[in-house]
Amino acid sequence: MTIENNPLLTKSQLPYLLPQWEKIKPEHIIPAVEFAMNAQRDAWEEIATNFNPATIENTVEAIEKAGEQIESVMNVGFTLISSIGGEELEKVEAELGPKITEHFNTFQLDDRIYRRLTSLDLSEADPETAHYVSEMIAEFERGGIALPAEAKDRLRKLDAQLSEAEISFGQRVVQAMSDNELVIEDPELLAGLSEDKIKSFTGDDSKIRLPLENYTNQPLQTELNHHDVRAQLLETSMDRGFGSHSGSDTRELVLTIAKLRAERAEILGYPHHSQAVAQSGMAKESEAILQLLLSVAQPAVAAAEVEARKLANMAREAGQSEPFTAADWTFYQEKLRAGLGLDDAAMAPYFLLENVVERGIFFAANKLYGISFVERPELPGYLPTVRTWEVIDEDGEGIALFQADFYRRKGKHGGAWMHEVVAGSAFDGTKPVIMNNCNFNEPKNGDPCLLTWDNVITVFHEFGHALHGMLTKTKYRSTSGTHVPRDFVETPSQLNEMWAFNPEVLAQYAIHYQTGEPLPQNLVEALATSKTFGQAFDTTELLASALLDQAWHRLSPSEIPSDVASFEKEALGEYGVYSEFIPPRYRSTYFNHTFGGGYDAGYYSYIWAEVLAADIENWFKTTAAIDGDGGLNRDAGTRLRTELLSRGNSRPPMDSFRALLGRDPRAEAILERRGLA
């Protein structure tokens, strides 16, 4: 293979520069990334050695232009690594990780480029460019540009080690989901599961393997009638990474990563890694993060204690002879939820995946933003099950492509996420190509894909991220869409969840896939009531993980413990969120958000961003509502699109929030939204 015939380095002739997925193989990725890195380094050197005074054109725009090819190649490579996975792509990821880290450190620690940026005259610059430059300068300074040469070398080595360890952790987490599947040989033990579901879990060897989701409590616990099987399923979920399978043991990696991050923070002059991360987000101070988390935790834990007594009584009254445990919580909570008239099995026929997407999220987007979606089957994805839509604005102009990969497969990363394949940028002349991934069970033999209510919320959530990427209107690729501070990025996605509950939207997508009958009115009303149902549990398990993330990253190098399990228990106890009935949403050993990188010391972002989302949701339902429509109107949508969704990081996100609501956010909004005020 030569560089000339590498499809990753050939500009796609497809609409919107959509990659020619069918031509791209794992063996193309490393040569393409290395070629693009070399080209970018040459461009950086040219910028750094330019003898002319720094200008926007020869410095800022030159830096942006230098990143176009490498980002294109990496976006496609990441898509294949995360969405397809497997041993071959894991090897690619492991080899590239340290090289990419070292590559970007070359830029981040280059004094010559830093000096050019700081010498710029921004008096005539447009506001977006001025903000972009100030953000770049701050990133240089946070990244150690002022360090002596010896410290910079140490930083480079630490970052390379971190990259290797984080990639290894992420791969072991994926492996642990297979290693820890609960094997059941007697189908009688699976009372509560449908025959179709049991059949889908049965392998060629006739053994039944219950698959694991990436978080702690498993959805199947709500259906399994046998206490012991529920307990076994939760136990095997919580045991991931703790050594029962050597190939997916992550304990040493947890300790190594925590220590490397603590050492890195120390070199940069921060008291701990949490403060280094806070500095780069909206929060700025890790103490402010901690106080927000604790302020939400207190009412959540108090409500959970009341709920625990209620559920334990319920278990006894139902004749359960075994003591009430964590494995029973979601089972009996689901019974309570059914008492509201809600039952996932009964509701599933009304939540056909195609309807939720095309008649739900697309309908709401059209009502709010005037955009419509036209399927483009002639524009394929990397697998036949990937679907493609063109996004058309109300003036008839195509503004983006949206691709979706909804199904679970072996090797695919767990959970759900959005990412950009092509970023929208006026400077590059590109329009966005945005992808959503989920992990729903792929139906067999033409069967329908029916969702739980939690699945429905997931689809709306991830599409909120997609809207952030598709509606972007920024000059630079680096300020577009979701290229925002990490503690702001979840705001549009959490906000978009509200439309799943909106009666007008619900009436469009919640229809029986066989009869076409709408979801019965009593269930519609019950869903509205259920919005705050179970929030004591949900909030406590989320906060336990967020505080665990903070605990690991508020340590100095000398404070790193020797035992992961003991540290977890002590940290959760210290923060007042330890509960024998509610384990953290993620334990350290499979907490990929934080130890796989990306949300390290940043899992608090979900709570921080929800404060903003909750306040905006309240605005939709009150100030922006017209004739009781809950804010589902073009005026409100246009305002949100103009002031927030289209802005990316072209200005400080808090400025976008203030432009939308005319004031600062109210911290109590999150408690109101979760029914914990």
Q: What is the structure's pLDDT at 339?
A: 86
In angstroms, the CA 418 to CA 92 distance is 22
Dmax of the chain from CA atoms?
A: 82
Instruction: Reply yes or no on whether the pLDDT at 597 is more than 90.
Output: no
**Per-residue DSSP letter, 324:** P
Per-residue pLDDT band at 2 (split at 50, 70, 90)? low
Per-residue pLDDT band at 608 (split at 50, 70, 90)? very high
In angstroms, the CA 79 to CA 420 distance is 9
What is the third-level CATH fold of 3-146?
Glutathione S-transferase Yfyf (Class Pi); Chain A, domain 2 (1.20.1050)
Cβ atoms of residues 216 and 243 within 8 Å: no
Q: What is the structure's pLDDT at 341?
A: 83
Instruction: Reply yes or no on whether the pLDDT at 98 is more than 80.
Output: yes
Q: Which residue has the tokens 């050197």?
A: 45
Q: What is the structure's pLDDT at 1?
A: 54
**CA dist 544 → 206, 253, 453 (Å):** 38, 21, 24
Instruction: Reply yes or no on whether the pLDDT at 384 is more than 60.
Output: yes
List 373's β-bridge partners, or say none: 391
In angstroms, the CA 451 to CA 435 distance is 20
**Residue spans in the chain of domains classed CATH 1.10.1370.40:** 347-532
**CA dist 178 → 201, 216, 387 (Å):** 13, 14, 27
* pLDDT tens-digit map of 127-143: 999 999 999 999 999 99
Q: What is the structure's pLDDT at 325?
A: 97
Q: What is the structure's pLDDT at 444?
A: 85
Catalytic residues: 462
Instruction: Reply yes or no on whether the pLDDT at 161 is more than 90.
Output: yes
Instruction: Reply yes or no on whether the pLDDT at 385 is more than 90.
Output: yes
Burial of 275 (0-12, 13-18, 19+ CB in 10 A): buried
* pLDDT tens-digit map of 206-255: 899 999 999 999 999 999 999 999 999 999 999 999 999 999 999 999 99
In angstroms, the CA 392 to CA 401 distance is 9
**Residue spans in the chain of domains classed CATH 1.20.1050.40:** 3-146
In angstroms, the CA 259 to CA 273 distance is 10
**CA dist 428 → 81, 185, 498, 538, 668 (Å):** 26, 57, 34, 42, 41
By DSSP bridging, strand 417-422 and strand 387-392 are unpaired
Cβ atoms of residues 588 and 568 within 8 Å: yes
Section 467-477 average pLDDT: 98
Instruction: Reply yes or no on whether the pLDDT at 3 is more than 80.
Output: no
Q: What is the structure's pLDDT at 344?
A: 84
* pLDDT tens-digit map of 482-512: 999 999 999 999 999 999 999 999 999 999 9
CA-only gyration radius of the chain, Å: 25
Cβ atoms of residues 311 and 332 within 8 Å: yes
Instruction: Give the H or E element holding residue 439.
Output: strand 433-440
Section 108-113 average pLDDT: 96
What is the third-level CATH fold of 347-532?
Neurolysin; domain 3 (1.10.1370)
Q: Which residue has the tokens 């009372």?
A: 191
* pLDDT tens-digit map of 425-434: 999 999 999 9
Instruction: Give the H or E element holding residue 262.
Output: helix 251-268
**CA dist 675 → 294, 299, 388, 522, 534 (Å):** 17, 10, 38, 21, 10
Give the tokens for residue 403: 């691709």
Q: Kindly report the pTM of this predicted structure.
A: 0.92
Where does residue 516 fall: left (phi above 0), alpha (psi -120 to 50 degrees), or beta otherwise?
left
Torsion of CA 407, 410, 416, 418, to 10 degrees: -90
**Per-residue DSSP letter, 204:** T
Q: What is the structure's pLDDT at 343?
A: 83
Q: What is the structure's pLDDT at 165?
A: 97
60 closest CA partner among 477, 388, 566, 382 = 477
617 closest CA partner among 585, 584, 640 = 640
In angstroms, the CA 207 to CA 201 distance is 8
List 435's β-bridge partners, or say none: 403, 419
Q: What is the structure's pLDDT at 5?
A: 87
- Secondary structure E strands in 464-571: none
Helices (H), 579-652: 592-595, 605-621, 634-640
In angstroms, the CA 220 to CA 183 distance is 14
In angstroms, the CA 524 to CA 518 distance is 10
Q: What is the structure's pLDDT at 598?
A: 86
Helices (H), 281-340: 286-317, 326-339
Q: What is the CA 496 to chain-centroid distance, rounded?
A: 14
Could you write out the DSSP letters of every residue in 218-245?
-GGGGT---HHHHHHHHHHHHTTTSSSS
